[in-house]
Amino acid sequence: MAKDKCFIRVEKLLKDSSIKSLKADEILDDIRKAQAEQKITKLDDIKVPDVAKDVLERRKLQKKINKRNAFENEIKIRESVEYVLKEFPENPEEGLIAILVGSNQQKLGSRSAVALQQFAMQRQLIAGFNQKLRENNLEDFFFKSTDEFGKPIPDLEQRLTRTIYELNQKQTAIEQRTGIKPPVTEKNQDIVKLATIMEEYSEMIRRKLNDRGANIERLWGWIIRQSHDAYKVRDAAKVLGKKILDGADNYSENLKAWKEYVTPLLDEERTFANTADRDEFLDFAYNSLIKNHYLRSDGAINSFGSRNAPINSNDVTKRAAAKRVLHFKSPDAWHQYNSKFGVGSLKESFFAGLDVAGRNIGIMDTLGTKPQENFEKIRDLVARRLVKLEKSTEKISGGKFEKFLMVVDGRIHGVEDFSFAKWSAITRSIASMSKLGFAAISAMADVGLYASEMKYQGRSFLGGMGEALGSLAKLKNKKNREIAEQLGFIADNMIYDLAARYSIGDNLNKKFTKIQRTFFKANLLNWWTNSLKEGAMLGMANYLAKNKDVKFNSLNERLKTLLKQFNVDEVKWDAIRKVGMEKADDGREFFSVRNLDKLDDDIIKKITGKKNLTKRQIDIEREKFKASISGIFLDRSTFAVIEQDARVKATLTQGTLAGTGIGEAIRFFAQFKAFPFAIIQKSLSREISFFKAGNSARGVLGLASIFISSALLGYISMTAKDLLKGKTPRDPSKAKTFYAALLQGGGLGIYGDFLFTETKGAFDLLGRFAGPVPGTAAEIIQAIQYGIQGKKDAALKQSYRTVTGNIPFINLFYLKSAFDYIIGYQMMETLSPGVLRRIERKMKRDSGQQFLLTNPSSKFKGF
């Protein structure tokens, strides 16, 4: 684009003036922005002195923000150091880990981790938005995109995007400058109301981040514009229907296609105002997107749209301070881009933005605006103090905490070799679906683990089992679901992938994510898990409501111990129990998290122990307190219904990235092990904490109850699966049955028959324990070996088992037997005559079982 003659003249004047070159560059950048924002074609219309003055004022403001941030960061650092030295003097490394991802040790605040604060803040943002939808009767309109008659609304997302843009423009300098409000052209008032909620909510979250030290400029649709699909961006040529010629470099061709597509859609003056090299900026943005860097939650500088970059930095990645802020010419241009390279629908884009924002707010609330740098200072100061106090002569290595820090700051979401990561994730997804058809039946052990958590909270074990079963049997009602949601429970599978119970998480493309979600609805694990988690949260909220008249020191000792782990003391408990409770339709009373918004300023000051707080600081502390209390319900629900947390994920991944050799090897090995590992780190570690707290008797009883209930429920689970397969129950007197039941109930139930089917050698067994994908590879190799050895029947039998064992959906517990009787047994007998009789004999010998109705060998003789 040709430069305005007047612009060239101003550029020369600035260079010849006494203004330093860096300031001159920034003034010119802001002039370009002013031109773009105010749609001015001639520079004569811009008051250059005013713009220059504004630039200098912004620099002064940023210096003030940096100074305030440095002060508040120092307070957070020193508070964390004192906490570790006070609560974990015998094991400061565990204290440092507790700050990041929590600890089961019965210490004050041991569960109040960065990761939990992030989790709670994410859920509170989503719950708050859903509440606004309910208040305006827009839930169905937003989630289903249909009108009151159930008919789809044409071009809804494009119309919403335009309205969000127009509403934003109404509140900007345009109105102040002209006195004219730009009109909202949309006539559908539901669209206008929804767009208003989305834009106001987006702006509210931007202000929350700025209150915590970010300096994010106002952008229309700030939340939805953070949404990108790394898979689509990486395959830009394919997405755009362009063929990559044989021998061409895929990366270069995809980069070229993406840049060619996005450039005409951009408002170039605004997008490239802070960089002289447009190609460099777009290259950087592209690489940031395909490596998932936009999922990082690493403080103020890298928040979306932030201007917190070091003032004297000229580096494009820092000076632009907006890793992928692409300013589009119009809302239609953004919508056009998002339809090609966004995560999906506008609502998915919105929730994706809430997710990232919640994690960033959570980490800044605990580790400040520079999380990585601040944690390193905490670690170093703890080590120095211990040496000074002559309690240690060794330096606490920072490497021990890196894997935990990577999970909370989002670096773990990064990807190295994209194609490797993509196909590995898809392979694991297929394996999950192929092996988890009976997952809901295997999950019966959840009832015992649920009960053991209720026992830990100070309630009864049998009462906990009854509550769990009641949650499964109870019909859901709107009021109960609303109460559970404000506690932090979100049932929508859009933000919670159930596969995470059994693996350490993958970033799947949209197609396989949708297939996987459909599968976990079909196998009923979605219903099972959500019912139990909702029941756990409501049960605990009801338990707290029943104790609202009890003073802290008079509380059940177990409940008091639990609350202390979340840093709840007498002052905080008084604040919690005095807020209004809520009643459900059945008359039961529940503690209300959302009523904590009503706590007055004096109570907040009393909670924090700080008298001289500004209005901004009081509002932040109120939000932090609300999230921390919500975190109690979220955290304990993942103990009641075992689910991996940040500590489990960090331990299993060891901080390795997807798309690296070691990272993918670990992810394949860890698949299906996240669940049993979470039981060890959560349920068993929770009971072991009693030994460290000097209550060995309680620890022994806790562990015993887990093992006994696991074995009993494991046997029930196995029996249910056998009945669904048309088999009689296993003989409980056989030792193999007992071990299988214990493993089934203890977290290995997802392997089911996988681990206990016939193995032909050590290699086969090793493959099975290495994970489902290596296990399948071992089966393929075994079939090939049989073929080489001339064992045709064995090779065909092994091949058939391997193929049918890796086809999703036919393994669903209510389809598997039908498939076997219609096709499966006939195929098995055709490929390996006599196999059914051999299976029947082996069942009788090993587990004392037989088929319920008729022996397949007498009915099926092959095709």
pLDDT at 351 over 50: yes
534, 481 Cβ separation under 8 angstroms? yes
- Inter-CA distances, 15 with 45, 179, 277, 597, Å: 21, 36, 20, 53
pLDDT at 403 over 50: yes
Beta-bridge mates of residue 590: 582
Q: What is the pLDDT of residues 729-759, one digit of tens each?
A: 988 888 888 888 877 776 555 444 444 444 4
Residue 243 has a pLDDT of: 87
Mean pLDDT of 526-547: 94
Q: What is the pLDDT of residues 186-196, one digit of tens each?
A: 899 999 999 99
pLDDT at 359 over 80: yes
Q: What is the pLDDT of residues 712-722, one digit of tens each?
A: 988 898 899 88
Residue 316 has a pLDDT of: 36
Beta-bridge mates of residue 493: none
Most confident of 287-301, 457-471, 671-685: 457-471
Q: How far apart are CA 428 and CA 600, in angstroms?
A: 50
Residue 313 has a pLDDT of: 43
Least confident of 58-72, 227-241, 436-450: 58-72
Strands (E), 226-295: none
The residue with tokens 């170093």 is 380
Least confident of 27-36, 293-302, 368-377, 418-427: 27-36
Specify the DSSP element, H or E, that contains 589.
Answer: strand 589-590
Residue 55 has a pLDDT of: 60
Beta-bridge mates of residue 415: 658
Q: What is the pLDDT of residues 774-830, one digit of tens each?
A: 888 888 888 899 899 998 888 888 888 889 888 999 989 999 888 988 898 899 888
Mean pLDDT of 287-298: 81
Please list, in sequence order, all residues whose beta carbon lies within 8 angstroms of the beta carbon of residue 646, skipping any fewer than 6 positions away. Answer: 100, 101, 102, 113, 115, 404, 407, 408
pLDDT at 353 over 70: yes
pLDDT at 10 over 70: no
Is 426 strand, coil or helix?
helix
- Pairing between β-strand 589-590 and β-strand 582-583 as defined by DSSP bridges: antiparallel
More confident residue, 59 or 662: 662
Residue 575 has a pLDDT of: 92
User: b/e per residue, 773-808, with b = 16+ CB within 10 A?
Assistant: bbbbebbbebbebbeeeeeeebbbbbbbbbebbbeb
587, 479 Cβ separation under 8 angstroms? no
Mean pLDDT of 467-476: 86
Q: How far apart are CA 145 and CA 140, in angstroms?
A: 7
Residue 401 has a pLDDT of: 94
Nearest to 581 by CA among 607, 544, 553, 537: 544
Q: How far apart are CA 413 and CA 428, in angstroms?
A: 17
pLDDT at 377 over 60: yes
Residue boundaries of the structural domains of the chain: 47-101+112-408, 414-697, 721-859
672, 751 Cβ separation under 8 angstroms? yes
Residue 457 has a pLDDT of: 95
Structure confidence at residue 318 as a pLDDT band (50, 70, 90): very low
- Inter-CA distances, 815 with 431, 553, 823, Å: 18, 55, 12
**In angstroms, how far apart are the furthest CA atoms of the chain?**
100
Query: CB burial class (10 A; 0-12, 13-18, 19+) of residue 628?
Result: buried
Roughly how many angstroms between the first and final C-alpha of the chain, as a whole number?
Answer: 74
Please list, in sequence order, all residues whose beta carbon lies within 8 angstroms of the beta carbon of residue 223, skipping any fewer than 6 positions away. Answer: 198, 201, 202, 205, 349, 350, 353, 354, 357
Beta-bridge mates of residue 306: 216
Nearest to 616 by CA among 300, 211, 216, 217: 211
Residue 325 has a pLDDT of: 75
Phi and psi for 30 in degrees, rounded to 5?
-70, -30
Mean pLDDT of 234-252: 87
Phi and psi for 401 in degrees, rounded to 5?
-110, -5
Whats the size of the chain, residue-wise? 863
Q: How far apart are CA 166 and CA 181, in angstroms?
A: 10
pLDDT at 500 over 80: no
pLDDT at 321 over 90: no
Structure confidence at residue 339 as a pLDDT band (50, 70, 90): confident
159, 403 Cβ separation under 8 angstroms? no
Phi and psi for 582 in degrees, rounded to 5?
-125, 150
Residue 273 has a pLDDT of: 72
Residue 758 has a pLDDT of: 47
DSSP string covering 705-760:
HHHHHHHHHHHHHHHHHHHHTTBPPP-TTSHHHHHHHHHIIIIITTTTHHHHS---
Q: What is the pLDDT of residues 110-166, one digit of tens each?
A: 999 999 999 999 999 999 999 999 999 998 888 887 776 777 788 888 899 999 988
Please list, in sequence order, all residues whose beta carbon lies within 8 angstroms of the beta carbon of residue 395, skipping any fewer than 6 positions away. Answer: 383
Residue 44 has a pLDDT of: 53
pTM of model > 0.85: yes
Other CB atoms closer than 10 Å to residue 383's CB: what's the count?
19
Q: Fill in the amino acid letter for 9.
A: R
Residue 573 has a pLDDT of: 95
Residue 18 has a pLDDT of: 47
Residue 180 has a pLDDT of: 61
Mean pLDDT of 72-88: 94
Residue 174 has a pLDDT of: 52
Is 851 strand, coil or helix?
strand
Q: What is the pLDDT of residues 577-611, one digit of tens each?
A: 888 788 888 788 999 999 999 999 999 999 999 88
Mean pLDDT of 356-378: 93
